[in-house]
Amino acid sequence: MASDNARQGAARRNGWVGVGLGFIAGYVDTLGFMALFGLFTAHVTGNFVLIGSELARPGHGVLIKLLAFPAFVAGIALARAIVRRHELGEQSPLAWLYGVQMLLLSGFMLAGVSALPLADSPSAMAIIAGMFGAAGMGVQNAASRLALSALTPTTVMTGNVTQLVIDLLDLASPGHDPTVAARVRKFLGPIVAFAAGAIGGGFGYVRLSFWALLLPIVLLLVLMLAARRQAD
């Protein structure tokens, strides 16, 4: 009974963490796209498409998209180093991962504010802001594989939506697997949260510019403190 309660408690915590991280990813990605010349900070797939478009039809935003890739990779490498260091001591790296992402998004916010007012092409400070944002979301992408593998991916929704649609179709069929309903609940939360974050990030940027990043920064602080308390 105690072990069942513990598993249920862990599942609930994971569900809320997935929702929180999904919201952060949608929020930051939309804000970065609106503010920084179509830059996707949370995933590189969109930036590959935009780089191809910029190279074929040159504009003013190709450099910020090119430099976002090594920054994203640096965020992944930083997350891997944090996880490897904590693996040696058999400790959870989550508090550190959340804390580092929080600091990188703080750099994104402050560099973005310093870049205001934004011109028709990215200034050096705007490019730095984009690199901070991409590095921060690189940390979140890596964390989802290295330390949060039990959760639904929180940064890239294409696979999540595909799986959700498949499961909903199976759920409507007679004799479906009992695990399908649980998987629907697992995937639905982060998808809805990502969409809500995307809307929030758009309206937040319109009203508060880069200061709107305070919301995901505070959410990461809450996640960091919760992870630290759970580890103690």
Q: Does residue 101 belong to any structural domain of this protein?
A: yes
- For the segment 102-130, the average pLDDT, to the nearest whole number, is 95
Ramachandran bin of 174, using left for φ above 0, alpha for ψ from -120 to 50, beta for the remaining angles: beta
3-state secondary structure labels for all residues of 116-182: CCCCCCCCHHHHHHHHHHHHHHHHHHHHHHHCCCCCCCCCCHHHHHHHHHHHHHHHCCCCCCCHHHH
- For the segment 6-31, the average pLDDT, to the nearest whole number, is 87
Classified as helix, coil or strand, 89 is: coil
CA pair distance 115, 127, nearest whole angstrom: 9
Residues 6+ apart with CB under 8 A from 132: 71, 104, 105, 107, 108, 111
Number of structural domains in the chain: 1
CA pair distance 172, 84, nearest whole angstrom: 43
Question: What secondary structure letter does DSSP report for 44?
Answer: S
Question: What CATH number does residue 224 fall under?
Answer: 1.20.1250
Q: Are 18 and 152 spatial neighbours (Cβ–Cβ below 8 Å)?
A: yes
- For the segment 157-166, the average pLDDT, to the nearest whole number, is 94
- For the segment 42-52, the average pLDDT, to the nearest whole number, is 83
- Expressed as residue numbers, the domain containing 35 is 15-231
Q: Does residue 8 belong to any structural domain of this protein?
A: no
CA pair distance 218, 106, nearest whole angstrom: 10
Residues 6+ apart with CB under 8 A from 53: none
Q: Does residue 3 belong to any structural domain of this protein?
A: no
Most distant pair of Cα atoms in the chain: their distance? 63
CA pair distance 40, 134, nearest whole angstrom: 8
50-103 pLDDT, tens digit each? 888 878 877 767 889 899 999 999 999 999 999 999 888 778 999 999 999 999
Residues 6+ apart with CB under 8 A from 158: none
- For the segment 156-167, the average pLDDT, to the nearest whole number, is 93
- Of 4-13, 102-111, 157-166, minimum mean pLDDT range: 4-13
Q: Does residue 100 belong to any structural domain of this protein?
A: yes
Query: Within the chain, where are the H helices?
Result: 2-35, 45-56, 62-88, 94-115, 124-146, 157-171, 179-208, 214-231
Helix axes 62-88, 124-146, angle to 10 degrees: 40
- For the segment 176-186, the average pLDDT, to the nearest whole number, is 86
Identify the band that residue 47 occupies on the pLDDT scale cut at 50, 70 and 90: confident
pLDDT at 2 over 60: no
Amino acid making up residue 160 = N
Q: Which has more pLDDT, 198 or 49?
A: 198
Q: Which has more pLDDT, 183 or 201?
A: 201
